Amino acid sequence: MPVMKKIRTAVVGAGYLGGFHAEKYAQLDNSRLIAVVDLNGKRAEEVAANVGSRAYTSYREILEMVDAVSIAVPTNLHYEVAKDFLEKGVGVLLEKPMTTTLAEADKLIRIAREKGAVLQIGHLERFNPAVLALGSTLTDPRFIESIRIAPFKPRGTDVNVVLDLMIHDIDIIQNIVRSPVRHIHCIGAPVFTPEEDIANARIEFENGCVANVTASRISLKSERRMRIFQPDSYITLDFQHKKFAVFRKGDGEMFPGVPNIKFEEKVFEQVDALKEEIVSFLEAVETGRPPVVSGEDGKRALETALRINRKL
């Protein structure tokens, strides 16, 4: 039996999220975790020791040593770090938001294309089984309502709640609707940080679909839900509890003038979405196939998020 060739992997940015990335790479049979990199040498050593890897304080030391890398540094450093790896032909899994500007996003997409390198953006919710279950259930979304709320945590506050949380739903909604954004109405407020901690956006698309999107990082509980309304049916998604339900107009009437409603619900086992994301990323690196969440997808979500921020 041929020996599996392992992909040389690394994680740059060993903070809260980067630590989880390192754990997943260390678990996968087709990954050899070469390095954990962080400017904080103590943190890099702590994570590296936990996963049986080696710690570095400069990502430039490993540019020639790896085939694939997760980048989980602060957003303002995404472009610089990702550019250096992509120029070496290294596959990059770049945490969201993709970059701070659309010009930076365009440059990363161009470099990845020129070098034949995989550029995948870390919109983790795409790997949620409730989202994957949508499939052929989607026909013609007309109205979408989403809410994503969470208790306050100091991490992630280098950006506002739109780029921190809402961008997940923006990505899912735009992937569902597949129509240009026509207009945006929004409101938001800073509460615990100088940036907006709660925001609501009404996004109108060229095809007539409307999405009402709310995100908060100052709530007492966590909730991640979406409802999708379309002719003859509506769909509910519970991202947190991995539930999917669809309500359809059936034959006959429940009461005069009120149609029968057919109901179908699926509850999925809890899966490790981050591990699934990294497995998918490494498959793209190994096979050369397009990633599930491309650089173009990341740029599209970023563009809408930045439009919302300008209006805020």
Residue 185 scores a pLDDT above 60: yes
Q: For the chain, what is the largest distance between any 2 Cα atoms, rounded to a whole number of angstroms?
A: 73
35-55 pLDDT per residue, tens: 999 999 999 999 999 999 999
pLDDT value at position 1?
Answer: 43
pLDDT value at position 16?
Answer: 92
Task: Indicate yes or no: pTM above 0.85.
Answer: yes
Domains of the chain, each with CATH number or no CATH? 7-125+274-293 (3.40.50.720), 126-269+304-311 (3.30.360.10)
Beta-carbon neighbour count of residue 90 at 10 Å? 24
- What residues have CB less than 8 Å from 32, skipping those under 6 apart? 6, 7, 8, 9
Residue of 278, 308, 119 whose CA lies nearest to 211: 308
226-265 pLDDT per residue, tens: 999 999 899 999 999 999 999 998 777 777 777 788 889 9
pLDDT value at position 156?
Answer: 66
205-223 pLDDT per residue, tens: 999 999 999 999 999 999 9
100-119 pLDDT per residue, tens: 999 999 999 999 999 999 99
How long, in residues, is the chain? 312
250-306 pLDDT per residue, tens: 777 777 777 788 889 999 998 899 999 999 999 999 999 999 999 999 999 999 999
Average pLDDT over residues 200-206: 98
Dist. CA 68–CA 57, nearest whole Å: 18
Residue 202 scores a pLDDT above 50: yes
Average pLDDT over residues 4-30: 95
Q: What is the mean pLDDT of the chain?
A: 94
Average pLDDT over residues 163-182: 96
- For the record, the structure tokens of 155 come out as 């991490």
